[in-house]
Chains A and B, each alone.
Chain A
Amino acid sequence: GAGVSQSPRYKVAKRGQDVALRCDPISGHVSLFWYQQALGQGPEFLTYFQNEAQLDKSGLPSDRFFAERPEGSVSTLKIQRTQQEDSAVYLCASSLLGGLEEKLFFGSGTQLSVL
């Protein structure tokens, strides 16, 4: 696609509900990242994929968070039993190869509100 696409753009969930957030990276991009951005703060790293392999999931805040990229393209971030502290913007980014000086392309994010 033309850019990184995320859906839904907005999601309101009741506490305890499971949610799934989707990221469609730029076609052919090997590396994919998920970040969490709380209101008024900078994004924080959640997890990183190279193709279908999840190479780093050190930023996932709890075992309620799970990410997958089964075919090395579209990725889904799943949050089980959502809590109010999960409310944030979830950003997805991709890059062609994941090199240290490669440009990153970001999606517009999914704003999650847990009531």
Chain B
Amino acid sequence: KNEVEQSPQNLTAQEGEFITINCSYSVGISALHWLQQHPGGGIVSLFMLSSGKKKHGRLIATINIQEKHSSLHITASHPRDSAVYICALGEYGNKLVFGAGTILRVKS
């Protein structure tokens, strides 16, 4: 059932550090989503990728379709970045298959 694997499961960083979260998958996809979930809160869509690289503020997402791998990078991390980051595979009609998530804690 593990079509999508995320690493690490837990990550603690100091404020200002560069952070990388990885996502590997085993099936063909049309798009890959990176999502952010705060405790007790809803889920926010950060990126959708089908190729290459996207950047939004301090967040960068890359995908390598041939290697079936994607990464989410956070530059100059801040405590407010603390959240669960989820990689999700996009199937038909935008049905998503979610990874288990990476719990990120950024300490000041």
Range class of the B interface residue count: 20 to 34
Shortest CB–CB separation between residue B104 and chain A, in angstroms?
A: 15
Q: Are B42 and A106 in contact (CB under 8 A)?
A: yes
User: How many pairs of A and B residues are in contact by the CB < 8 Å rule?
Assistant: 67
Q: Is the interface of B mostly helix, strand, loop or mixed?
A: strand
Contacts of B90 in A (CB 8 A): 100-101
In the assembled complex, B100 has its CB within 8 A of some CB on chain A: yes
Shortest CB–CB separation between residue B54 and chain A, in angstroms?
A: 11
Size of the A side of the interface (Cβ < 8 Å), in residues, is 28
A91 CA to B41 CA, complexed, in Å: 11
Q: Are A103 and B48 in contact (CB under 8 A)?
A: yes
Residues of chain A whose beta carbon lies under 8 Å from any beta carbon of chain B = 4, 31, 33, 35, 41-45, 48, 50, 55-56, 91, 93, 95, 98-109
Residues of chain B whose beta carbon lies under 8 Å from any beta carbon of chain A = 30-31, 33, 35, 41-45, 48, 50, 86, 88, 90, 92-101
For this complex, 5 residue pairs linking A to B, each with C-beta atoms less than 8 Å apart, are A48-B95, A91-B43, A98-B93, A101-B50, A106-B43
- Given A106-B35, A106-B43: 17 more A-B contacts, CB < 8 Å: A31-B93, A31-B94, A42-B88, A43-B43, A43-B98, A48-B93, A91-B42, A99-B94, A100-B90, A101-B31, A101-B48, A102-B48, A104-B33, A104-B96, A106-B45, A108-B41, A108-B42
